[in-house]
């Protein structure tokens, strides 16, 4: 009986754990920003939790889980190493692997959501996970661009940012771009940065308009 209940929960809510992990990270990252001494380690732990919950979210399909594990295992190893061995090269490798893994996860979950014949709570959870993962993954891309090409982004004096931009700043910038909110306190200063922001803003608009609206409307009819 218990095994059957667990199987039903897994089948109908396997995107839930990933959603909770993503929301928690977005809620807690201001705390990490306020404590620079533990910021990198805390974010590293959350990256690992997101990675593990992403693999779990793909476990409904054996082929997807296997591919996710093959991408996730080296990413997990590098992420664990980077927690104890800080360095620019190691961080770039870790971020590159995370972007690749997140991209695979986004595409897989999106296709799964689109192929659902009936819109359920799990479908909605999957759609939200894709949206949040897109924002986080674009933030990683911006952070990598700034690392390779310092000065790709400019900051207004009113932002009162001390020192160089860090990943948490790019999370904020990414979601304001994804939602086309665009406060303007952080702006792209090079053509490469502008190109990325154009792509992200278009992705955000199309995703909300075409996918989320459709899923919500279908969900309301059930």
Per-residue pLDDT of the chain (222 residues; tens, 9 = 90+): 544 434 544 555 678 889 999 999 888 877 877 676 667 777 778 888 888 888 888 877 788 888 888 888 888 888 778 777 666 667 788 888 899 999 999 999 988 888 877 778 888 889 899 999 999 999 999 999 998 898 899 887 766 555 678 888 899 999 999 998 888 888 999 999 999 999 999 999 989 887 777 766 766 555
Could you tell me the CATH number of the domain that includes residue 175? 1.10.287.70
Give the total number of structural domains in the chain.
1
Count how many residues are written for the chain.
Answer: 222
Q: Which of 74, 73, 55, 52 is nearest to 64 (CA)?
A: 55
In angstroms, the first-to-last Cα distance of the chain is 28
Q: In angstroms, rounded to a whole number, what is the distance separating the alpha carbons of residues 196 and 36? A: 28
Which residue range(s) make up the domain with 16?
2-221
- Alpha-carbon separation of residue 56 from 22, 40, 60, 76, 116 (angstroms): 14, 24, 8, 14, 18
- pLDDT at 130 (0 to 100): 94
* pTM, two decimal places: 0.86
Percentage helix, strand, coil for the chain under 3-state DSSP, each rounded to 5: 80, 5, 15
What are the DSSP E strand ranges found in the chain?
Answer: 153-155, 186-188
Give me the residue label for tokens 């667990």.
Answer: 6
- Alpha-carbon separation of residue 90 from 67, 101, 170 (angstroms): 23, 16, 19
Q: In angstroms, rounded to a whole number, what is the distance separating the alpha carbons of residues 146 and 27? A: 24
- pLDDT at 66 (0 to 100): 86
What single DSSP character describes residue 188?
A: E
- pLDDT at 142 (0 to 100): 95
By the 8 A CB rule, do 160 and 105 touch? no
By the 8 A CB rule, do 137 and 99 touch? yes
The residues, ordered by sequence, that sit 6+ positions from 172 with a Cβ below 8 Å of its Cβ are: 186
Q: Which of 94, 194, 197 is nearest to 138 (CA)?
A: 197
Q: In angstroms, rounded to a whole number, what is the distance separating the alpha carbons of residues 31 and 39? A: 8
- Alpha-carbon separation of residue 156 from 53, 149, 196 (angstroms): 37, 19, 20
Distance of CA 112 to the CA centre of its chain: 17
């Amino acid at each position: 009986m218990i095994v059957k209940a667990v199987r039903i929960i897994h089948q109908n809510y396997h995107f839930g754990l990933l959603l909770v992990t993503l929301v928690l990270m977005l809620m807690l990252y201001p705390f990490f920003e306020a404590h620079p001494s533990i910021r990198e380690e805390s974010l590293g732990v959350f990256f690992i939790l997101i990675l593990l919950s992403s693999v779990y979210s793909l476990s409904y399909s054996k082929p997807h889980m296997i591919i996710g594990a093959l991408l996730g295992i080296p990413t997990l190893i590098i992420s664990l190493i980077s927690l104890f061995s800080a360095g620019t090269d190691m961080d770039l490798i870790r971020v590159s692997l995370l972007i690749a893994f997140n991209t695979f996860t986004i595409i897989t979950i999106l296709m799964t959501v689109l192929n659902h014949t009936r819109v359920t709570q799990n479908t909605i959870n999957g759609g939200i996970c894709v949206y949040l993962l897109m924002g986080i993954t674009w933030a990683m891309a911006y952070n990598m661009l700034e690392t390779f090409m310092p000065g790709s982004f400019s900051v207004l004096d009113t932002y009162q940012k001390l020192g160089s931009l860090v990943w948490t700043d790019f999370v904020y910038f990414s979601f304001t771009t994804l939602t086309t909110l665009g406060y303007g306190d952080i702006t792209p200063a090079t053509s490469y940065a502008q190109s990325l922001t154009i792509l992200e803003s278009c992705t955000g608009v199309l995703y909300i308009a075409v996918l989320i609206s459709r899923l919500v409307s279908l969900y309301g009819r059930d």
